[in-house]
Every structure is written in C-alpha cells, then in structure tokens.
Amino acid sequence: MANSIEVSAVAQVCHEANRGLCEAIGDTSQVSWNDAEEWQRQSAVAGVRAYLDNPGITSAQMHENWCEYKIADGWVYGEVKDAEKKTHPCLVPYADLPEVQQYKDKVFCAIVGALLPINQNATILPPEKPITTDPIPGLTEGRVVHYILPDGPSAGQIRPAMVVRVWNRNSIDKTSRGCVQLQVFTDGPNDALMNVEWRTSVLFDDSPTPAPGTWNWPARA
C-alpha cells in the first residue's frame, strides 16, 4: 500500500488535472493544489485511497464514493457550490451528472490507475470477488419507511416517512447506498414540527438500535 506521502502526490496530480479540465470548460474557480483548502486536498486524497481499497472501482462508483465522503462531511445538494454552506451541484447520482462532469471521474480513475503501478510500494491486485453494488432490495421512490427523529421533544421516536428519491443506488457501501430524501409525517405540534417535514440525505441504519436521523424498514406485522 502506498504511504501517505505517495497518496498525496497522486492526489495532487488528480487535483491539477481536474483544475485543467474545469478551465477547459470555462470554470476558473478551481485553485492550484498549493492554494487549495485542506478539505479540498483531503477530498482528493480520499478518492485515491478509495481506488487503492477497490482496484476494480468504476468512474460511477468513484463518484458515489465522493458523494459518500461529502455527505459524511455535512455537504448537501445545492444548485451552486458553496464551501461555507456546504452545498454542491454534483451531489446527484452519476447518471444524472452532465457528461462533462462524468469526465472528471473518468480522468481521476485513469490517472490513479496509471501512476500507482509505477510505485514500488503500491501493490494493486484484482479484487478476490466482485464488488457488491446491488441496490437495497425494495428501496424505491414511494416506499414508506421508519424515520428516527433526531431532536425535539420526541427525539428518538419513530415516524413514518415516504421515500421521494434514492441516492447512491450502486454505492459500494450499503449504508450510503440507502441514502434517501424523505417526506416525514410527524405528530405536528407534539413533535414541535410541521405536519410534514422534508429530510435530505438520510442514511440507512438496519442495526438493532438505529441512530437518530436515520431510516430503517418497518417491522413485519
């Protein structure tokens, strides 16, 4: 496995290639690696490590991995990229990305795959078994699930919710593969909430004690 210095060097090349691609399409907002914020550098490093951990990863899976990383860091979808508000227009399924944005993931994978084999400390082997990326069975728009209220007077209690969109259908990670947008049906004033609440980027938790702010399947009657 490549050490942190080597991973960082590859991440720098990927960052600069992405910046060049952005400039080619008229986006001059990207800064150089040396001028980039730490969160930007760490995002590139996380992408390189994802490739190392999953040598058979595709550009679509790389994008889903990036979405998982951003969501875990508090980012949400927004029409405008805003680092302070943590909104990003590319936090959508890979198939919904403009083609030019898909190129970024393809270029990233190509660069990492080309550079790491020349590193004597990086051993890249084919995965022993195919990466499982099947969608969670039964998870579709319109399904009713249980949402765990995260705060307020009813924190920790279950409320029914309807899935209105499924993110990351083919993510490598099962938890992020169940990332959804929900319309949550509350007990109104008793929950100190509106009757119907919008919840975005809600993660799946099928553990015996699901975490607040996550969703899970209702128990079979």
In this prediction, residue 216 carries a pLDDT of 92
pLDDT 10s digits, 119-129 = 444 444 344 34
40 and 88 part of one domain: yes
Mean pLDDT of 8-31: 86
What pLDDT, on a 0 to 100 scale, did the predictor assign at position 117?
60
Both 12 and 99 in one domain: the answer is: yes
pLDDT surpassing 90 at residue 185:
yes
Q: β-strand 215-216 against 196-202: which pairing, if any?
A: unpaired
Give residue-wise pLDDT tens across range 93-111. 988 998 888 988 998 988 8
User: What are the pLDDT digits (tens) for 147-180?
Assistant: 999 999 999 999 999 998 887 555 545 555 578 8
Q: 201 with 167: CB under 8 angstroms?
A: yes
Rounded to whole angstroms, what are the CA distances from 25 to 35, 59, 209? 21, 20, 47
Domain assignment of residue 203, given as a range: 144-216
The reply to whether 114 and 157 lie within a common domain is no
What is the structure's pLDDT at 130? 42
Between 137 and 116, the more confident residue is 137
Report the distance separating Cα 172 and Cα 168, nearest Å: 9
pLDDT tens for 190-215 read 999 888 899 988 888 888 898 999 99
End residue of a domain, out of 118, 136, 162:
118
Q: How far apart are CA 212 and CA 102, in angstroms?
A: 34
Domain membership flag for residue 187: yes
- Averaged pLDDT score across all residues of the chain: 81
- H/E stretch holding 216 reads strand 215-216
pTM metric for this prediction: 0.53
- Number of structural domains (the chain) is 2
CB atoms within 10 A of CB 218: 11
Q: Give a yes or no: residue 39 inside a domain.
A: yes
Please compute the mean of the pLDDT values over residues 61-90 and round it to a whole number. 88
